[in-house]
Structure formats: structure tokens, C-alpha cells
Amino acid sequence: MLVTLNMLLDCIKQYPLEIHISSLDEHSFERVALLPEGTTRAGLSSGSLYVCRLSDYLRLQSERQNACYICVRDRLPDGGETPERLSGSIIISANVSYLEIFSLLSEKFMQVLDWWMRMTEAMMNGCTLQTILEMSCDMIGNYIAVNDAAFKLVANTANIPCDDPLCRRMVEYGFHPESTIDMFKKTGRFNFWEKNDFYIDSDNVYSPYSVVGQVFRIEGNYVAHAVMTCNNYEATQGLLDLYKILCTFIAKFCAHEWESKDAKVVIYSTFLEGLIEGKTTDYASAQERLAEADFPADGEMCVLRIPVSGVANTLVGIIGQAIADLYPRSMTSLYSQELILLLSLQTQDLHGAMLNIARQVGTVMERYDLQCGISSAFRELELCPNAYKQSGMALHCGVRLSKNAVVEGLHLTTPRVSVFDELLHYCMLQNSYDVIQSLRSSHAGRALTQLAQYDKKHSSNNMELLYNFLRCERRAKETGELMHLHRNSVVYRVEHIRAIVDLGDLEDPDVRFRLLVSFMMINLYGIEE
């Protein structure tokens, strides 16, 4: 353990200092010592900081090059103090004994060394991060808080009061509340954290004090964030050096949590990846592992897929935690730039459960401008790969529908969440150019294209009315309730549509089916002009 020169200078900054060292940041020491009498060059150590009188330092001349010196001026300048002769020294011009300076520096040196040794010993004995932060209060003196990937408070220097509003809100809630997250989003803070591991903020945008942050990543994943609020002491280089020592210990905790795959710190599960990739073959053992993780794998389950490729890495943990808070018995993995979740339904009302999931997850998706695909419910773990594909197909359809739908009233639970069972008929129309072109050129496809062009020209909504009329099995009253029209108006509008385009015989169920399929195709792929 080496103590930096900057740390030591903080304890004598009350004195006027003349610094004749080119780069203070490059110097650290294994001890502080008095300059012995009769010292020669061979007796000096580059790992030591020597304290002496200026006259003793000047007497060394060329022999002093190996070490750094803090000298107390003991005589007036006599013209012999050239820059070359003073190089490598820090001179104190004050009425103070060099022995007093030595005492101050030695005490600081021992405090730093003792702090480091106590933290090292505590970690070896399995202490918590909270313990490490409490050990740092006297040494650093400023308020420090550490949050995990979900922006939950992991540890803080609770016995150091801080009136910073963000710090107080985080302590109150136990995490950064939505108001703080919104502020971070609006000011581009998440993108800033993507590019900077260590930073100093003194512009007072987020705090009335300067703040010093350290972002911790493992394998490129944002896992934790430590922030020192300089509410008691300014961020001198010496204080920053102490903070960096503390951060090396925080990093060790992060590494330990990563190795243990603790979901409180990072979203990570190779086990879930093995299931969705079909690499897991021993499903009996897999079910036992799920049970050990308090995941009930003996009932219905479903898979969720949420693309996060365009989302700042620092936000991914918050999003995953928001859903995990809704469904504590879930497994989460960050896989191929997507959040993958395995949810246990544990209910007899599967339809109601799926609708409830779509609504609750939809609220989270709306907040972060994301899309989610949900598979059908399944019971056997070996169906995980199939469920993963289903959720992807539903997601793909949902994204297409949100971009291309030319009619309203698609009867989706939420526009942000696409459930495979809800969109099965749309999924069947995907990814076949020949089928798409054939549908477009069919009688029903041409009729709807013509009707859509008419709507565009006359700013009407005939497409929406016809779609709802067909879905309501041609019941004018129910269609009117959906469209906020009188049933007579619906009947009149349908006849008007039939006068515009040739729909065929609507008494024929096959004709109606072909029209509905063509509506689905148009909603997925749009109108071919």
C-alpha cells in the first residue's frame, strides 16, 4: 500500500507552499522519514518522502535526486536557490518546525495505512459494503452513496448528514425515485455514464455541491455506481486519491456479487440462456434449480422479450428491476441486446393473468418507450425455446402494427405489449413475400387498397368502420357503439362503402374471412401505393 503525495499535502495545506515538483500525481510513498544527518545519494530511497530544513536539502546537491522532499525554509533566499537546485522539493515558508511538519505527515500517513488495513481485514472476514463505507467516514468526511444496476441504494455514509435533495430523496425511498430518473433522462445523464467511468461534476445541475462519481462495470455491464457529494470538504486531488482507494474496495464487492450472480446488483443468468437456447437437456435438474431459486416451475410460465439495444446500459437494470418488482418470482437475463424474463403465472385464470401482465408491463414499456413480446403460457421447461420464438414473433408483429396499421380498434390489450396468442393470426402472415404479394393482388386485397386510397383522399374512416363491422359479425348496433355512431348511420355507411368498392357477398363467411385476413396483411405491411 502506497500513500500518495497529494494525500499528504492535504494535511499541511494551511501553510504557504512552494512546489518545485513537475507532477504531483506521479509520486507515492511507502514511508515518511526525517532526512538523516550525513546522508549520501546511496542512502536515499525513492519510495520515501523526506522532511528536513531547506539548508539541509540544499547541502545534498546532486545526491538528492532519488527522492522527494518537504523542506521548511530556515534562511532567507541568498541567490543560490535556483530552480535547478530546488527541483524535487516542496518548500514551506512559515514559522514552523520541520519536526512539527514531520509529525503531521507521519500521522496522516499512518491514518491512511491503518484505514486501508482495517478495510482489508474487514473484507477478509466477510463484512458488508455498508461497513466499508462507515470505516471511511472519518478519513473522507463527505457523504457517499452506492447504488446498484437498478438504482437502488446499496450502502451509504448514513452518519454523515447531507442536505443535497437527490441524496435525501434516495435515502427516503431507498432508490432513485421516478422524478430523479426523469431528470437524468432529460439531461442525457445515462448516455454520459455510458462513456465515463470516473467524473467530477461542479456545475450544480444535479447538486448544490460538487460530486465525484465512479461507475463500475463488469464485462461491459453497468453493475454499480458510487457518488461522493462534497458537502463537507472540497474535492482536492488528495481527497480524490482517497476516494479512489475506497472505490477499489467497492469494485471488489461488485466482482463478488457478479460471480455469485446476485440479481440485486446485475441482471445476469446463464441458466435462463441455456433454457431458451435449448442447451439444457436435464430438465429434472433444471426444475430443481428453479425451486431452489424460489421459482415455481411446476405451473404455467411465459417468456417476455424486451429489446434494449438502443437503451443506455445504465437504464437496463432499472427496467429489469421495475418488472421484477411486479413479479418477484421471475428470472431475468440480458441476452443478445434484449431483456429476457421467465415468469411464473401460478393461476387458474390464464387468460386473465396474461391480460394483467400485458397491462402492467405495458406501463413500464410506455415509460421507457419500449416494446415487449410475450409468449403463450406453457408448463414444460423443454418448451422454453419455442416460447422464446413465440415472444419474438409477437414482438415483430407488434412493432409492425404500431408503424403500419391503417385502421383503429385492433383490440390489442396495450400497443406496447404484443401477446402471441392475441396476434397468432398476424404471426401466420409474417415473413413470406409470395404470400404478401398474393394477398395484395387478391380481390379482397385490391378492394381494401382502393378503399384506403379513398379514405386518404376524402379524410374519411371507412376502413375502420368496415373492419369493426366485420369483427362485430355485421351487427350494426355493436359497431355503432364502438364507433360512437347510431346503428342507422352504420347501415348507411356500409352501403356507401359497397358503392365505392366491390366487397363481394358479405353474407358469405368465406368472403368475410378473406377480407379480415387482408385487413391483417395491410395492418402488418401497409398499403402498396
> What pLDDT sits at residue 64?
55
Q: Is the model's pLDDT at 338 over the cut of 70?
A: yes
Rounded CA gap, 55 and 252, in Å? Answer: 46
Amino acid symbol at 203: D
pLDDT tens-digit series, residues 45-101 = 778 999 999 888 888 765 555 678 999 998 655 556 777 778 888 999 999 999 999
Rounded percentage of the chain residues whose pLDDT exceeds 90: 44
- The runs of H, that is alpha helices, within 237-349 are 237-259, 270-276, 283-292, 313-326
Side-chain-side CA neighbours of 125 within 13 Å: the count stands at 9
- First-to-last alpha carbon distance for the chain, in angstroms, is 73
Taking residues 440-457, report their average pLDDT.
Answer: 86
**Candidate from 204-208, 257-261, 416-420, 462-466 with smallest mean pLDDT:** 257-261
Pairing of strands 31-34, 48-53: parallel
pLDDT at position 225 is 94
**476-500, pLDDT tens digit by residue?**
999 999 899 999 999 999 999 999 9
Q: Considering only 64-78, 159-173, 511-525, which range has the smallest mean pLDDT?
A: 64-78
How would residue 412 be classed by pLDDT, with cut points 50, 70 and 90? low
User: What local confidence, expressed as pLDDT, does residue 266 receive?
Assistant: 43
pTM score of the predicted model: 0.66
The answer for residues whose C-beta is within 8 angstroms of residue 422's C-beta and 6 or more apart is 394, 411, 412, 413
Least confident of 59-68, 149-158, 376-385: 59-68
Q: DSSP letter at 61?
A: G
Half-sphere exposure of 482 (CA within 13 A, CB side): 21
Cα 101 from Cα 58, distance rounded (Å): 18
- Mean pLDDT to the nearest integer, 448-460: 90
The set of cell numbers assigned to 104 is 503531521
Confidence check: pLDDT of 253 > 80: yes
Would the CA dihedral through 234, 236, 239, 243 be positive or negative?
Answer: positive
Strands 301-307 and 372-374, by their bridges, are antiparallel
pLDDT of residue 278: 84
- Considering the chain, what is the average pLDDT of its residues? 85
Stated as kind and residue range, the H or E segment containing 49 is: strand 48-53
b (16+ CB within 10 A) / e for 366-380 = ebbebbbbbbbbbee
Whether residue 269 has pLDDT greater than 70? no
Mean pLDDT across 270-277: 82
Q: H/E element holding 302?
A: strand 301-307
- pLDDT of res. 264: 37
The pLDDT of residue 260? 64
Question: Buried b vs exposed e over 74-88: b needs ≥16 C-beta within 10 Å?
Answer: eeeeeeebeeebbeb
Strand order in the sheet with 338-344: 330-335, 338-344, 301-307, 372-374, 417-419
